[in-house]
A = this chain, B = another copy of it.
Amino acid sequence: MEEGVAILARTPAALDALLRGLPDGWIAAHEGGDTWSPFDVIGHLIHGERADWMPRVRILLEHGEERAFNQFDRFAQFAESEGRTLPSLLDEFAALRQQSLLELAAMRLTDADLDRRGRHPELGVVTLRHLLATWVAHDLDHIVQISRAMARQYSDDVGPWRAYLRIIRETPS
């Protein structure tokens, strides 16, 4: 539990250090098609704080398996982030995450609580432990996505080194 929170607490600062002040080309960089840019991902993380992680923790603790979690809108950020700047999104993400973790700490969850069960609308029965571990892995997954999207802007520029760079060599799935 503490191990996971250690990551959750660091994600906003890590993304801030990586992204704030970068030229716009990096912020809008994506992997083609409808893949996401760093700008899109930060909006998605904000929506997760508002609508997904702590709301699901509360539903699970209050209603157990009786009430399924709300569906998560994976595309909410496209409307919500419109007209925003990256720095303002980074600030908002950091503030919301801090608030989420304060609320989580105040719950004083025990090991037994982590085995409590809830219901995902598609995946079925899950435990609080699954939900919290997924929150952590989801953060890291999006750090990967942002770094990969930026690196792939240089797929041609790296020339022969392409053969050595796993991040560029592997085509998007």
Which residues from chain A sit less than 8 Å from chain B, CB to CB? 2-4, 6-7, 10-11, 13-19, 21-23, 25-26, 120, 123-127, 129-131, 133-134, 136-138, 140-141, 143-144, 147-148, 150-151, 154, 157-161, 163-168, 170, 173
Given that A17-B17, A133-B157, A147-B144 are known contacts, is A23 also in contact with B10, CB under 8 Å in the complex? no
Selected contact of A3 from candidates B26, B120, B124, B160, CB within 8 Å:
B26
**B14–A167 touching, CB < 8 Å:** no
Contacts A7-B150, A136-B154, A144-B148 known; list 7 others, CB within 8 Å: A6-B26, A130-B161, A131-B161, A133-B158, A133-B161, A144-B147, A170-B173
- Cα separation A123 to B159 with both chains bound (whole Å): 10
A154 CB contacts on chain B under 8 angstroms: 4, 133-134, 136-137
Number of copies of this chain that the complex holds: 2
A15 CB contacts on chain B under 8 angstroms: 14
A17 CB contacts on chain B under 8 angstroms: 10, 13-14, 16-17
Q: Distance (Å) between the CB of A150 and the closest chain B CB? A: 6
**A147–B143 touching, CB < 8 Å:** yes
Given that A2-B23, A26-B3 are known contacts, is A137 also in contact with B14, CB under 8 Å in the complex? no
Q: Distance (Å) between the CB of A51 and the closest chain B CB? A: 16
**A160–B123 touching, CB < 8 Å:** yes
**A167–B150 touching, CB < 8 Å:** no
